[in-house]
Copies of this chain bind each other. A is one copy, B any other.
Amino acid sequence: MTPTTAVRADGRTADELRVVTIERGWSEHAEGSALVSFGRTKVLCTASFTNGVPRWMSGKGRGWVTAEYAMLPRATNTRNDRESVKGRIGGRTHEISRLIGRSLRAVVDTKGLGENTIQIDCDVLQADGGTRTAAITGAYVALADAIEWAREKKFIGQRAKPLIDTVSAVSVGIIDGVPMLDLAYVEDVRAETDMNVVATGRGLFVEVQGTAEGAPFDRRELDSLLDLALDGTAELTRIQQSVLARIEA
């Protein structure tokens, strides 16, 4: 198995990310925002800061971070009906919203937030595979900016460090027996095994979600996917840090 020499439809090697861009501050209204692209996948992430926390959390001196994910109806190749029109949120939407929220909370010290809420919204403007991993990666940037905004507004303490690490995510999968990084849609539908890995800047796992789409997978395949994913999130961490550094300077 020599993944790095395989060549893919878009010319990438097996262990190569698509072109990743993060346009920080895309929205003029939100306290933090980022338009993130993983190749043709484009997700608009906004972070909305509000004072107070949901009732069930009140009085504990802790903040709350939560997330909602959605797709525009024509983000995909064929149009999907709006969930607002159907009157109900689908299972996939629910699942990804929860994943994004958990991933961000894993790097947040909620005591440092005070009793404030940051609501993350990730709206997929264009989809080409990896929308949930792009969303997590962009949402971290929006979250970091909203926290900085709150610090400037003195809604959180000047010495508080609510962010204890960074977080990013990438998909990996096995196609024709070859482990590959950051699957585009045409690759995703062909993958025998599909895995989404969320990891911190320090290289620790936050979420590992592997699914046998075709045949079940063995331990050796699992190991090679995890290796590849950690390389990918390390690269995404560098991009996040560079974007956050550039503008703060």
Residues of A in contact with B (beta carbons under 8 Å apart): 27-30, 33, 40, 44, 46, 48, 50, 68, 70, 72-79, 82-95, 97-98, 102, 106, 119, 121, 123, 125-127, 165, 195, 199-200, 202-212, 215-219, 222, 226
Which among B87, B92, B217 is the interface contact of A88 at CB below 8 angstroms? B87
Residues of B close to A91: CB separation below 8 A: 89, 91, 94-95, 97-98
CA distance A204 to B211 in the complex (A): 11
Which among B28, B88, B125, B126 is the interface contact of A89 at CB below 8 angstroms? B88
Residues of B close to A102: CB separation below 8 A: 211
CA distance A76 to B191 in the complex (A): 38
Which among B70, B93, B205 is the interface contact of A210 at CB below 8 angstroms? B205
Can you pick out 22 interface pairs between chain A and chain B where the beta carbons lie within 8 Å of each other? A27-B75, A28-B40, A29-B126, A29-B127, A46-B74, A68-B73, A84-B88, A91-B94, A91-B95, A94-B95, A102-B211, A106-B212, A125-B125, A203-B218, A204-B212, A204-B217, A204-B218, A205-B216, A205-B217, A205-B222, A206-B211, A206-B212
CA distance A30 to B119 in the complex (A): 30
The 5 closest A-B pairs by CB, nearest first: A204-B216, A91-B94, A83-B84, A46-B74, A84-B84
Contact A72–B121 (Cβ < 8 Å): yes
Interface of chain A, helix or strand or loop or mixed? mixed
CA distance A97 to B48 in the complex (A): 26
Least Cβ–Cβ distance between A96 and chain B, in angstroms: 10
Residues of B close to A85: CB separation below 8 A: 68, 89
Residues of B close to A79: CB separation below 8 A: 48, 50, 119, 121
CA distance A127 to B27 in the complex (A): 10
CA distance A206 to B212 in the complex (A): 5
Least Cβ–Cβ distance between A191 and chain B, in angstroms: 14
Closest B residue to A217 by beta carbon equals B205
Contact A208–B205 (Cβ < 8 Å): no
CA distance A91 to B156 in the complex (A): 31
Contact A74–B48 (Cβ < 8 Å): yes
Contact B70–A82 (Cβ < 8 Å): yes
CA distance A222 to B229 in the complex (A): 14
Residues of B close to A50: CB separation below 8 A: 79
Which among B30, B165, B210 is the interface contact of A74 at CB below 8 angstroms? B30
CA distance A222 to B206 in the complex (A): 11
